[in-house]
Chains A and B, each alone.
Chain A
Amino acid sequence: MEGFFTKQQVQSADRPDGRTYSCASCGLYKDAQNPRMQAFGNFKKGILNIGEAPSEVDDKRGKQWQGRSGRVLQQTYKKFGVDLFEDCLNINAVNCRSTNDKGGDTAPGDYEVACCRKRVMNVIEKRQPKVIILHGGSAVQSVIGHRWKKKLGGISKWRGWTIPDRGIGVWACPTFHPSYIERVDAEEVNTIWHQDLNRAFSMTGVPFPDFPEEGKQVTIVQEQNEVLGVLKKLNQGTISPDPPFMAFDIETTGLKPHDTKNHRIVCTAFCDSPNHVYVVPELRRKSHKKALKELLENPEIGKIAANMKFEDTWENVINGITVNNWVWDTMQAGHVLDNRPGITGLKFQAYVNFGVVDYDSEIEKYLHGDPKNANSVNKIMELVSTEEGLRKVMTYCGLDALFEYKLAIKQMEQMNVTN
């Protein structure tokens, strides 16, 4: 049974898993010379640097970036005309020194980061930086980790993106921690780091985008009588731009469709512009299937998907449709643009490009079947058995198609592909 509230409504930003994250439970303050180190810097260019934790020297002096890695950072910033303490505000993911058994500096754990998160978030909220540079994995964990419900992954995955993070209303730019640059001392890493920083600094001049509320751009067509009209309208080419593109996305009962007795396409979303998407339920009438076939086989309309082999196979096996004129797969394009592992998925791309985190969390658990059997049936039918559940699935499907469309257009621009 669906409850009264959405998952987002009952999540706590303050205490994500209900536990108390406090200085008392962290305990690092007890051994620090300068516990709960305050943010420092004159912040003239609106840049907020978030580091890992105070080093021994930082702790002694009561200020961030006083040690060797701080010097590296200061010198590097200077090359870009940025003064670390005049132009920036500085804070750490954990603001008390974290030590190992021998009394040396050590990276804080996720728990310590969680305990200090409120302090970091308060600084972001009160000072409203233009750009946040996240130096290293702890900083990413601090600012993004609690909202990113999937596996966070390492800094290599996150570095280099300039994320328009809607949750905090700031450009979030992760990169390596200067101590890593100093430690590996490799030219290629140093070059990448410089590129990341340059990109981050350039964002100080870019206003934060005014994003629309995508949920309102999803039109759910539940009345069977209206479905035909929508499919025909899409097929008859009110679609822009020229040449017309259409992203489409399906929600299904599993990964592979070949067990046709048990598998179904639960809903399909069609996005023909960056600000509108239609979602239709499972098509059962012959006339609907015919219209769908005409639309998907229409050679005039370029098809877009994320992982197009999925949509292609399901349409082929379930509806007997051979999708014509595939023009873009955001997953493949994502890989061509950046070949790091773990970055081509739509959810990651939607976050790093459009700042949206976690729009799938209410649905995601229903999408998994038996992990050892790719032909197994997932739990989506359980969800769509209620009106509210069906609405959630269709909205999610619509958002997928919408982000696929927007992402494809952005990728085409990045790759200088117009036709």
Chain B
Amino acid sequence: MKLNKQELIKALEIVKPGLANKEMIEQSTSFAFMDGRVVTYNDEISISHPVKHLDITGAVKADKLYGFLNKVKKDEIDFEITESEIKLTAGKSRAGLVLQNEIKLPLEELGGIGKWKPVPDGLAEAIEFAVFSCSNDMSKPILTCVHVRKELDRTESSNGYRATHRKFEGALPVPSFLIPSSSARALGSYPITHIARGAGWVHFKTKNDTVFSCRVFADNFPEISHLFEFDGDEITLPKTIGDILDRAGVFKSQDRFVDDMVEVKLANKKITIRVERDSDWFEEEANIRYSDIPISFQIQTNFLKEICARTQKCIISEKMLKFKGDNWEHILALTASE
């Protein structure tokens, strides 16, 4: 049978986030073909997508198949299936890949998907937006998740020192759930249209019939609403702050375990960004409309850059800093102040 290479590559790329790095689970580094779909499963995420004109059942090593398809120049690939092999022919190139006829992926783990329901507008964006406040610290597992909260029509996240929430439009048709940030990050690139809750899993479907399933945490996310309720002075950071932070980034640590913090000082209508690393240092001043008591705090460089790309306005109190947009809020506990 002949297949369009680009179409197949596209299908494989859609399911690739469901592959495992190491084959701890049998066939978890393979593409499984069954029922006219290609499926991947890595115990956290499982993705399936329809493949046209490829009527096979079995699993093929993902790196070999994907690698071959990407390297050959012909647009049309001829597939020949034998008992234990897929023979691929593209022009003068031929390859034989082992085909495991029996699908051993533990897809029964997914359980029943249940009834698909339309997702509220902006859900995918709200989930993706909240990811950057999630913790990477596995000793705080709940904080490594995005909380999709039904009662308040919003997503929430926090790493214990900063917190974010963002609204989506309309009601969530399934109970609230906690989706791990790694899954939430992967989900961000899928145009989801429907959602369903299974036992221990949440499933999403796109208009192209991709099904993205990911495990959820069966825990309660701590209440964060009260953290956003504080008064303070509104200040507008200079538009040039992104550029300043770029320059400060030159002095960041090479050690990936060290947080790259910049010190931010607000005093006498000036904002000063300063970073010190080993014996090197960088400092830059800009004008700002702030003449209250001097404040200084430390903040992660990349984080401040990310948030300043969205807004320059913030509210500052003795202990907290708040950035606010149309449908989101972000707060940060100040690490130090004068």
Contact = CB atoms under 8 A, between A and B. Distances in A.
A238 interface: no
A4 B333 contact: yes
A20 interface: yes
Interface string B88-122: 00000000000000000010010000000000000
Nearest to B162: A4
Nearest to B180: A18
Most buried by B among A10, A17, A20: A10
A5 interface: yes
B202 to A, nearest CB: 14
Contacts of B159: 3
A17 B333 CA distance: 25
A15 interface: yes
Contacts of A27: 25-26
Chain A interface category by residue count: 20 to 34
B44 A15 contact: no
Nearest to A29: B106
B141 A15 contact: yes
A369 B41 CA distance: 46
A14 B224 contact: no
A14 B180 CA distance: 13
A159 to B, nearest CB: 31
Contact of B142 (A3, A9, A23, A25): A9
B209 to A, nearest CB: 24
B297 to A, nearest CB: 11
A186 interface: no
Interface of B is mostly: loop
Nearest to B161: A3
Nearest to B140: A10
A17 B139 contact: yes
A10 B215 contact: no
B120 to A, nearest CB: 25
Given A10-B222, A12-B141, A14-B218, A4 B163 contact: yes
A120 to B, nearest CB: 14
Given A4-B224, A4-B333, A23-B106, A16 B141 contact: yes
A13 interface: yes
B222 A17 contact: no
Q: Which of B139, B180, B227 has the largest count of A CB atoms less than 10 A from its CB?
A: B139
A24 B43 contact: yes
Interface residues of B, number: 30
A190 interface: no
A9 B222 contact: yes
A22 interface: yes
B106 A24 contact: yes
B105 to A, nearest CB: 8
A11 interface: yes
B77 interface: no
Contact of B160 (A4, A12, A15): A4
A5 B143 CA distance: 10
B293 interface: no
Contact of A4 (B25, B43, B144, B227): B227
A1 interface: yes
A252 to B, nearest CB: 26
B106 A3 contact: no
Contacts of B143: 5, 10
Interface string B31-75: 000000000010110000000000000000000000000000000
Contact of A17 (B138, B161, B215): B138
A20 B106 contact: no
Contact of A1 (B24, B109, B217, B335): B335
Contact of B109 (A5, A7, A23, A30): A23
B142 A11 contact: yes
A13 B219 contact: yes
Contact of A11 (B141, B218, B224, B227): B141
A10 B138 contact: no
Contacts of B138: 17-19
A10 B160 contact: yes
A264 to B, nearest CB: 25
B158 interface: yes
B333 A10 contact: no
B141 A1 contact: no
B219 A20 contact: no
Contacts of A1: 161, 333, 335
Contacts of A9: 142, 222
Given A10-B143, A11-B141, A14-B217, A20 B44 contact: yes
B141 A10 contact: yes
Contacts of A16: 141
A30 B25 CA distance: 11
Contact of B25 (A5, A10, A18, A25): A25
Interface in B138-170: 138-144, 158-161, 163
A361 to B, nearest CB: 11
Interface in B1-45: 24-26, 41, 43-44
Contacts of A10: 140-143, 160, 222
A5 B160 contact: yes
Contact of A24 (B25, B142, B222): B25
Contacts of A11: 140-142
A109 to B, nearest CB: 15
B215 A20 contact: yes
Interface in B300-338: 333, 335
A5 B161 CA distance: 9
A180 B245 CA distance: 65
A31 B175 CA distance: 36
A30 B41 CA distance: 17
Nearest to A1: B335
A12 B143 CA distance: 9
B219 A5 contact: no
Contacts of B142: 9-12
Nearest to A3: B160
Nearest to A9: B222
Nearest to B145: A12
5 contacts: A1-B335, A11-B142, A14-B219, A18-B138, A20-B215
Given A3-B159, A5-B222, A27-B26, 12 more contacts: A4-B227, A5-B140, A10-B141, A10-B222, A11-B141, A13-B218, A17-B139, A18-B141, A22-B43, A22-B106, A22-B215, A24-B106
Interface of A: 1, 3-5, 7, 9-20, 22-25, 27, 29-30
Considering the complex of A and B, which 7 residue pairs feature the smallest CB-CB distances, nearest first?
A3-B160, A12-B141, A24-B106, A18-B138, A10-B140, A18-B141, A14-B218
